Amino acid sequence: MRAGKANLALGLGAALLALIVALIWVPMDTSTGMIEKMRRQTNVGDALAPTLAAAFILIGGVLVAMLERPETARRLSAGNLSFLLQLLGILALSLAVMRWLGPAVAELLTDTGYRPLRDTAPWKHLGFLAGGTALVAGLIALAERRLSWRGLLIGAAAALALIAIYDLPFDSLLLPPNGDV
Amino acid sequence: MGWLDYVWMGVLAVFQGPELINLMGLPIPVTLAMIAAGFLLGIAVGATPGLAGPMAMAIALPILISVFGFSPDALLPVFGFLIGIMKGATIGGAVPAILFNTPGTPDAYMTTLDGYPMTQAGQARKALRVAHFSSASGDTFSDIVLILCAPFLAVLVERYLDLPEKTALLILSLAFIAAVIGGSVGKGLISLGLGLLAAYVGTGEDFYPRLSMGTQTLAQGFPIAAVVLGVLIIGEVFKSLEDLWSEARNRRSPRPPITQSGDQRLRWTDIRRLLPFVARSAVIGTAIGALPGIGSTLAATLGYTTGNTRHARSGARPRFGEGAPEGIAATEAANSSVSGANLIPVLSLGIPGNAAAVFLILAADTIGGFNPGPSVFRFTGDVVNPELVIAFGLFTCMMIANLLNWTIGGAFMRSMGFMSRIPKQILLPVVLLLTLTSIYVQETRMAAIWFAIGFGVLGYLMRRLGMSPLPFVIAFILGAKLEETARQAFAATGGDPFFLVSSPIAALFMVLTVGVILRSTRKSKDLPT
Amino acid sequence: MKSILKAAIAAIGLTAMTTGAMAADWTPPGPIKLMIAFRAGGGADTQARLIAEDLEAKLGWKFIPEQVTGKGGMNLAMAIKDQPNDGSVIGMVVTETLGYNMMVANAGVTPDDFTAITTTAGFQMGIVSTAEKGWTSFADMIADAKKSPLRFGVMSPKLADIAYLLGEAQGVDFNIVSVKGGKAVMNGVTAGDMDLGFMAGIQGKGVAAGDLVNLASALSVPLKQTPEAPTLADLGVEFSADGYFLFIGPGGMPTEARDALAAAIGEAISTDGMKSNGMITKAFGGPALIAGDDAQALVSGDYAAAGALLEAASQ
């Protein structure tokens, strides 16, 4: 029965999402309706396609809730969610380092700030190296359930290797975060 | 310009393209070098559990484009590399399946059933030879079918299908993909609908970027690389990382090495015995590959099952599952013959059927100058149709890759056993950083990385809920095309609201669409993903 | 006396400095991000990338090209608006973006929020069909259109308005089919999905080979390739599809940066032997340069005039 309930929950969830999209989001966030009259010619408006997409989700949801065989049912466990939270935490932290470390250090040490330096080594590599190392080391630690020097070394090596692949040979490629600053 | 001229120009485009180096007076064309490099990389990637062909294609793409630029000259070297990876990964996947009982790619699962028992019996190298021979045969057969079929199908499509029929055909293909992938038509439709919805954010005909909630971040829509790589690759990395995280408490000890003995060669008598199995599976795999969305795992399963029935009837020993070379042959020929045929819907209809085809379309889209679809096969009068030359160049690349496969593929594949010793908990985080970086260099804004992680979470959830991410990705890629074609059909018919059913061919496609969905809901057979 | 002299010297010095800085002395602060509002691989995209290549080779400046497509250039305009205006971010659009499209989009911006740098080339916009149709003149096509409605491919809302007005002036009904980009119009017309359509120069090779026919010029002047084809004015439409490819930057760009960029681009595309010059000559019939304040005035004029076309087409 638990499996059947999982399908019911997924199906109804999808159907609810579809209804929200079709009845609230699409009408409020498109500027032309389903069918538009323009220059005496009728045209398809911008609301039609997303509404159709919502219709597919709705039909799928109803099928899953009503007709689906219980053996195809899968549900998320508390363990799944806890893993996902830890994972996203590590990613958010390391990407924040990647984005802001360079500008922060430049703000402290120079008068000009980061922008004029965004194409100058070692400034342009600072955030990527630190953030990339943190990302790889953090995820290795997550998978092995322990923090290790080996993980940090592998992270730094990976980030350096990527700098060598993308940045050294190609003038027109920008590593994160140098396109944003 | 006859068709023979185009074939010849396609071949020349590969061989007379810019040269990489001059080896003792012998110029090595860059396309040729790229095919070989991609092919060897593909074998290595396929032989590494946790990596797959699409990952390598995704990561290589921005580098390739930076090297070759955005000119039409870039198309063939880039395609050559990607096709090399696609073919290499197919045979590479059998290596860890046979040697260590862990499939390198999902479609090699059935190879473990007979491959690993052969290793345990001391016949590992022979098993690898059987896998290579069957895989290369299936692949070559499939490519020949592609080259013979795609142009004719494309010409038929262009001649008989008008805008309304093209719209109906797109709808039919999407419904078919949703219905056949993953064994649950309901989940397939949800995946499809979500993919379309994602494609419609920020796009549209009016100047207001629809569904952008008034923000500039969403106004340009989701970057295609962030969505495709997010759902297909980052989602898979998240899932595998969690598997490691849950396993971390009880790690297995390494297996003791097995000594290899006996005749490891593949003899002519062996080949004669294997050929019927290879042939049957190649036909099955090609037929399945020609339908968009079904994929190589089902082909492998069907090939193996069919082979098993025949083998059991003959009463020969060893039986399937106990180390029969026929079992490896039936599986590998089937899963390898999917890859070529999978390009039939891409080239004749513009509809990608699997992840590898998605990346070929992505490459064509990024570089520009080649729009996979029926319009490629327009045999023009005096003016050369450059897209057609590229198409025949693409076919030439595939045949060159096959040639490499037959000559150096086997030996290289047998040397790749060590790749499966790379620990996954190191590999996966590095792959993630690599993927995020490659998305950033293409899009140059942090928002793209956040989108990619968001779609990665979606891909992870879909996998955990038993929902295939492939309909999502294909719908995302075809979403804009579907809407454009429908708009144009509506406008071209002077605003006929029933354009989808007012011509007999379009109406037939729509009836088939409803039929496909109804049939799959009734069917209670559980198809493997 | 002394102080006046001092001021005078200072003033002379200042003028000398600004003139000197105008073209030669200005160098971009770091790499220049080049946003391109056109799909990769098309004629417009190739043009932008070749100009960047030429400038890199000639002046040693560094460009980072990036595609920002969609909404007739409005996506690019909205993205470039708030970027630094020191010349380190420029974009390539068409004059229509800052004119008609900006007017209709009603997105809270006007051409004054941007800096027009320079145009590069004009469109050779023709109304084109395949030779297979058997039409040798515009009148042949109209005769067929009177029997049953023809499909007219367009690639922008402004062109859709003009196509509608053309039908009205000629007393026929076109089924106007909007597609994305001139290449898509050409593909649709060659594949038979559309009967005729606007093409902005891409038709040149096909017309020369006799596969395509320029039925009319969509400009206020005749086409260079087919001077005998009637213009829109000849056909009773008082509007035209005149337009140019245009480099823009964020609003308030310093004059010396703007002029240095305009001068560099202008020199590259008008110099024989430069890649961009070859491409522009082949595809767009040669460079057409309107720079600085003249360019700004051009788009402001287009923006102001867009209302009249809208009103005429809405009736």
Q: Which residues contact C229 (CB under 8 A, 6 or more apart)?
A: C126, C138, C214, C215, C216, C217, C222, C223
Cα separation values, C159 from B271, C199, C240, Å: 65, 10, 9
Nearest chain B CA: its distance from A111 CA (Å): 25
> C304-312 long-range contacts, Cβ below 8 Å, gap at least 24?
C305/C99, C306/C99, C306/C100, C306/C103, C306/C104, C306/C158, C307/C103, C308/C239, C309/C100, C309/C158, C309/C161, C309/C162, C309/C239, C310/C100, C310/C103, C310/C104, C310/C161, C312/C161, C312/C165, C312/C238, C312/C239
3-state secondary structure of A38: strand
Cα separation values, B116 from B124, C293, C303, Å: 8, 76, 72
Q: Does A172 touch chain C (CB under 8 A)?
A: yes
Q: Give the model's pLDDT for residue A17.
A: 96
Task: Point out which residues pair with A170 in neighbouring strands.
Answer: none
Cα separation values, B193 from A30, A33, B212, Å: 18, 19, 18
Among A125-129, B63-67, B478-482, which stretch is predicted with the lowest mean pLDDT?
Answer: B63-67
Are A159 and B433 an interchain contact pair (Cβ–Cβ within 8 Å)?
yes
Q: Name the token pair of C276.
A: 């961009």
Q: Which residues contact B25 (CB under 8 A, 6 or more apart)?
A: none
* Count of Cβ atoms closer than 10 Å to residue B147 Cβ: 21
Q: Give the model's pLDDT for residue B252.
A: 54
The larger pLDDT score, comparing residue B20 to residue C106, is at C106
Residues of chain B with C-beta less than 8 angstroms from the C-beta of C194: 492
Break chain B into its structural domains and give their ranges. Answer: 3-248+266-522
Chains in contact with C, counting 3 or more C-beta pairs less than 8 Å apart as contact = A, B
For residue A87, give the chain B residue with the closest CA: B238
Among A8-12, B304-308, B402-406, C64-68, which stretch is predicted with the lowest mean pLDDT?
Answer: C64-68
Q: Which residues contact B525 (CB under 8 A, 6 or more apart)?
A: B183
* Count of Cβ atoms closer than 10 Å to residue B33 Cβ: 16
Nearest to A179 among B193, B444, B482 (CB): B444
Concatenating the DSSP letter of every residue in A57-108 gives HHHHHHHHHHT--GGG-----HHHHHHHHHHHHHHHHHHHHHHHHHHHHHHH
Nearest to B220 among C68, C180, C211 (CB): C68
Give CA–CA dist B31/C2, Å, rounded: 74
**Phi, psi (5° rounding) for residue B268?**
-60, -40
B65 within 8 A of B74, measured Cβ to Cβ: yes
Nearest to C49 among B70, B162, B493 (CB): B70
Q: Which of residues 58-87 of B touch A (CB under 8 A)?
A: 62-63, 66-67
Q: By percentage, how much of chain C surpasses pLDDT 90?
A: 66
The larger pLDDT score, comparing residue A13 to residue B183, is at A13
pLDDT tops 80 at residue B529: no
Q: Name the token pair of C263.
A: 């001068």
Are C62 and A172 an interchain contact pair (Cβ–Cβ within 8 Å)?
yes
Give CA–CA dist B353/B359, Å, rounded: 11
pLDDT tops 80 at residue B106: no
For residue A114, give the chain C residue with the closest CA: C30
Give CA–CA dist B262/A159, Å, rounded: 46
pLDDT tops 70 at residue B251: no
Concatenating the DSSP letter of every residue in C4-29 gives HHHHHHHHHHHHHHHHHIIIII---S
pLDDT band at B249 (very low <50, low <70, confident <90, very high): low
Cα separation values, C243 from A15, B413, B497, C216, C295, Å: 48, 58, 35, 16, 12
pLDDT tops 90 at residue B281: yes
| CATH class of the domain whose range is C126-217 | alpha beta
B75, B207, B445, B490, best to mutate vs chain C, most C CBs in 10 Å: B207
Mean pLDDT of chain B: 88
C2-122+244-314 CATH: 3.40.190.150
The larger pLDDT score, comparing residue B368 to residue B83, is at B83
Nearest to B162 among C70, C105, C193 (CB): C193
Residues of chain C with C-beta less than 8 angstroms from the C-beta of A43: 178
Are A173 and B66 an interchain contact pair (Cβ–Cβ within 8 Å)?
yes
Give CA–CA dist C43/C59, Å, rounded: 24
Give CA–CA dist B526/B183, Å, rounded: 5
What pTM was computed for the model? 0.89
B355-367 and B470-492 helices, crossing angle to 10°: 50
Name the amino acid, one letter, at A171.
Answer: D
Number of Cβ pairs < 8 A linking chain A and chain B: 234
Give CA–CA dist A119/A122, Å, rounded: 9
Are B378 and C191 an interchain contact pair (Cβ–Cβ within 8 Å)?
yes
Residue B174: CA count within 13 A, CB half-sphere: 30
* Count of Cβ atoms closer than 10 Å to residue C210 Cβ: 11
Q: By percentage, how much of chain B surpasses pLDDT 70?
A: 96
* Count of Cβ atoms closer than 10 Å to residue C281 Cβ: 15
Residues of chain B with C-beta less than 8 angstroms from the C-beta of A176: 436-437, 440, 446, 449
- What is the length of chain A? 181
- Per DSSP bridges, beta strands C196-199 and C126-130 are antiparallel
Ramachandran quadrant class, A38 (left: phi over 0; alpha: psi -120 to 50; beta: rest) = beta
Q: Does A87 touch chain B (CB under 8 A)?
A: yes
Q: Which residues of chain C have pLDDT under 70?
A: 1-24
Q: CA nearest C268: which of C2, C51, C11, C13?
A: C51
Q: CA nearest B11: which of B377, B394, B449, B491?
A: B394
Nearest chain C CA: its distance from B346 CA (Å): 18
Q: Which residues contact C237 (CB under 8 A, 6 or more apart)?
A: C162, C165, C166, C169
B47 within 8 A of B103, measured Cβ to Cβ: no
Q: Does A69 touch chain C (CB under 8 A)?
A: no
pLDDT tops 50 at residue B381: yes
Are A39 and C65 an interchain contact pair (Cβ–Cβ within 8 Å)?
no
Q: Does A37 touch chain C (CB under 8 A)?
A: no
Give CA–CA dist B108/B331, Å, rounded: 8
pLDDT tops 50 at residue A111: yes
Give CA–CA dist C289/C295, Å, rounded: 9
Nearest chain A CA: its distance from B262 CA (Å): 40
Q: Name the token pair of B255.
A: 């297996």
Are B369 and C179 an interchain contact pair (Cβ–Cβ within 8 Å)?
no
Q: Which of residues 175-204 of B touch A (CB under 8 A)?
A: 178, 183-194, 196-197, 199-200, 204
Q: Return the residue matching tokens 């032989």.
A: B47
Residues of chain A with C-beta less than 8 angstroms from the C-beta of B212: 29
Mean pLDDT of B164-183: 88
Q: Cite the residue boundaries of each domain of chain C with CATH code 3.40.190.10.
A: 126-217
Task: State CA B34 to chain mean position distance.
Answer: 19
Q: Cite the residue boundaries of each domain of chain C with CATH code 3.40.190.150.
A: 2-122+244-314
For residue C188, give the chain B residue with the closest CA: B375
Residues of chain A with C-beta less than 8 angstroms from the C-beta of C29: 116
pLDDT tops 50 at residue B466: yes
Q: CA nearest C36: which of C23, C46, C27?
A: C46
Kindly report the three-state secondary structure assignment for every residue of B442-483. Answer: HHCCHHHHHHHHHHHHHHHHHHHCCCCCHHHHHHHHHHHHHH
Task: Please say whether the dihedral angle defined by the alpha carbons of residues A140, A143, A146 and A150, taken in this order, is positive or negative.
Answer: negative
Cβ burial, residue B242 (10 Å; 0-12/13-18/19+): buried
Q: Give the model's pLDDT for residue A3.
A: 56
For residue A175, give the chain B residue with the closest CA: B441
pLDDT tops 50 at residue B114: yes
Are C41 and B208 an interchain contact pair (Cβ–Cβ within 8 Å)?
no
Name the amino acid, one letter, at A32.
Answer: T
Q: Give the model's pLDDT for residue B217.
A: 87
**Phi, psi (5° rounding) for residue C91?**
-145, 155
Give CA–CA dist B320/B318, Å, rounded: 7
C46, C71, C179, C279, best to mutate vs chain B, most B CBs in 10 Å: C71
Q: Which of residues 219-278 of C touch B (CB under 8 A)?
A: none
pLDDT tops 90 at residue B241: yes
pLDDT band at A120 (very low <50, low <70, confident <90, very high): confident
Residues of chain C with C-beta less than 8 angstroms from the C-beta of A174: 64
Give CA–CA dist B77/B367, Å, rounded: 12
Question: ipTM score of the complex?
Answer: 0.94
Residues of chain C with C-beta less than 8 angstroms from the C-beta of B223: none
Q: Return the residue matching tokens 């985080």.
A: B429
Mean pLDDT of chain C: 88
R_g over Cα of chain B = 23
3-state secondary structure of A123: helix
Q: Give the model's pLDDT for residue B216.
A: 85
Give CA–CA dist C299/B260, Å, rounded: 78
Q: Give the model's pLDDT for residue B141.
A: 96
Q: Does C23 touch chain B (CB under 8 A)?
A: no
C239 within 8 A of C162, measured Cβ to Cβ: yes
Break chain A into its structural domains and give their ranges. Answer: 2-72, 78-167
